[in-house]
Structure 1
Amino acid sequence: MANDELPSSVVSVDWLLENLDAKEIVILDASWFMPGSGRDAKSEWINERLPGAKFFDFDQEICDRHSHLPHMLPDETQFSRQVSELGISNDKQIVVYDTQGLFSAPRVWWMFKAMGHDAVAVLDGGLPAWKKVNGPLVSGEPEKVQPDTFTARFRTEWVTDAQSLLSKLDDPKTVVLDARPAARFYAQQPEPREGVRSGHMPNAKSLPFGQLVKDNQLLSPQLLKQRFDAISDEDQHLIFSCGSGVTACILALAAEVAGREKLTVYDGSWTEWGAGLKYPVES
């Protein structure tokens, strides 16, 4: 399998079944649950996972541990070291899934994109879709990983911070798309995190991630294109935001599948923007 043979940024369970034994492929379980869910993603991975799947912890491990914000993108040095420790090299094809179907896996897809690795895809439908076709599963303590060498090359265009985003809110070439539920966007429902204001950024548009997903799978490329065409022009720069930078990546993945090219995730998202009074908020 050549280094560019992932069919797209989203692969089907049928495709993965056919390529499950390919030595070039690394499977990552990127499951993550909202705080307070009572679920432990790593324990669930130990109990049930795709064959050979490694656990990618972007919430507590592969993240900027010095930031007060949750699961922020680490720098390229840390990312390189920790991905290498997972036994991943730059010539690997990476397939990411999560136990909810299509929720947190796109976050890890985006992280690899931001770190210069294009050979990465999300398993459409995740673990539920895999189970539906009776795909093989394993359980128990995983085998010890043999480290490899991965070198990250940070791409600034894939990520933005609050100050840079603030300067683009009035730019007609840019549109901010917010993946949170509409009730939170319009301040009809309080934010789940304490001390975070309700509402949205000036000129931002609401695009709840659930509008791009059906039965835990992405809509077709044609339908996704219609969704994005309805709220943005093809040549506009799309910046994605959400509560804490996870579901914004679903929008980024969907936009790429729809054919959009200028894609950026606001990593701090509403957890940063809505805290305090530094940044403008509308309801």
Structure 2
Amino acid sequence: MISPVNNIVSAAWLHQQLSDAMLSASIVVLDASAFMPDVPRDPQQEFINIRIPTARFFDFNHQIAAPNTDLPHMLPSADLFTREVSKLGVNNTSHVVIYDSQGMFSAPRGWWMFKAMGHDNVSVLDGGLPAWLAAGYATQTGLPTVNTIGDFCAKYRSDWVIDADSLCQKLDDSHIQIIDARPTARFLATVKEPRVGLRSGHMPNAKSLPFGELLTDGHFLPVAKLKQKFDALSNNDQRLIFSCGSGVTACILALAAQVSGRDNVTVYDGSWTEWGANEKYPVVK
């Protein structure tokens, strides 16, 4: 079983690490806050207004994303990821700790990106910035200064990612289980998709696990309860493939699955934004 300590850390743990000059040297804190398209908030401005000390902004919506695609925040090439992450001062030996301003929403996307790029020493701050503030720990304002370029070198791992055509060929494969993180009403097509032009429904043989069912007040449920959620939908031998609206909340499920002991997890990066827009991919209502 994968130790949850490798993937999730508490605000108290991070505060202790940053308070120790020896320990903090190996920690790189990244704010990966992002919001749904219809939410009128600017994550980078909010980062400037208030952030965890030493944090840098991890912009997976624009800066650390594949260019020349109509799909939002797609995983970039290893070369682009290497270049942009090195600018944030990340080394191959760094322990990367990622958080977001909502507690547990977009930070897992950053975690998954690092995993897909071969960096296992990455954790998500459980409860995110709200947990840090609730504990009364110090914050900083303004843009941080990164004095050195890191030596990070991405090593792409294809088992963490799947594209639409590959997934379409596996819809009837009993060795995999597709799990959809969208709200139940969207999965069942009882409401329209928020993005214009997308069909409603879900992939054949997919199962529904809305990401909010894994959380309470921005924190993950206890490990035993997370395990129950995944055991109810799949068996331990299956490869779990996660999808959502655009590839963000699917990563919450991927992280929760790892925390609960499932190590064979994959994210469908294009998610419903891609699948629901293309008539060649089957949809069930």
- The residue aligned with 1:158 is 160
Alpha-carbon distance between aligned partners in 2 of 1:54 and 1:267, rounded to the nearest angstrom: 24
| 1:162–1:133 Cα change, 3 Å | same
Alpha-carbon distance between aligned partners in 2 of 1:189 and 1:236, rounded to the nearest angstrom: 30
Aligned-pair CA distance for 1:146: 2.1
- Quick one: which amino acid aligns to residue 183 of structure 1? A
- The residue aligned with 1:13 is 11
- The residue aligned with 1:77 is 79
Alpha-carbon distance between aligned partners in 1 of 2:268 and 2:175, rounded to the nearest angstrom: 17
Alpha-carbon distance between aligned partners in 1 of 2:9 and 2:221, rounded to the nearest angstrom: 13
Alpha-carbon distance between aligned partners in 2 of 1:188 and 1:145, rounded to the nearest angstrom: 52
| 1:153–1:12 Cα change, 3 Å | same
Within-5 A mapping of 1:44-59: 44-59=46-61
- The residue aligned with 2:172 is 170
- The residue aligned with 1:142 is 144
Is residue 99 of structure 2 the alignment partner of residue 97 of structure 1?
yes
TM-score, normalised relative to structure 2: 0.96
Residue-by-residue CA offset, 1:43-99 (whole Å, 9 max, x unaligned): 000000000100000001100011110000001011001111111111000000000
Residue-by-residue CA offset, 1:88-116 (whole Å, 9 max, x unaligned): 11100000000000000000000000000
- 8 Å CA contact retained: 1:116, 1:152: yes
Structure 1: runs of 5 or more not aligned? none
Is residue 262 of structure 2 the alignment partner of residue 264 of structure 1?
no
TM-score, normalised relative to structure 1: 0.97
- The residue aligned with 1:131 is 133
Structure 2: runs of 5 or more not aligned? none
* Structure 1 vs Structure 2 CA RMSD: 1.2
- 8 Å CA contact retained: 2:162, 2:269: yes
Identical columns (%): 57
- The residue aligned with 1:25 is 27
- The residue aligned with 2:109 is 107
Aligned-pair CA distance for 1:147: 1.2
Aligned-pair CA distance for 1:144: 4.2
Report the more deviating stretch, 28-37 or 242-251: 28-37
| 1:216–1:269 Cα change, 3 Å | same
Within-5 A mapping of 1:267-278: 267-278=269-280
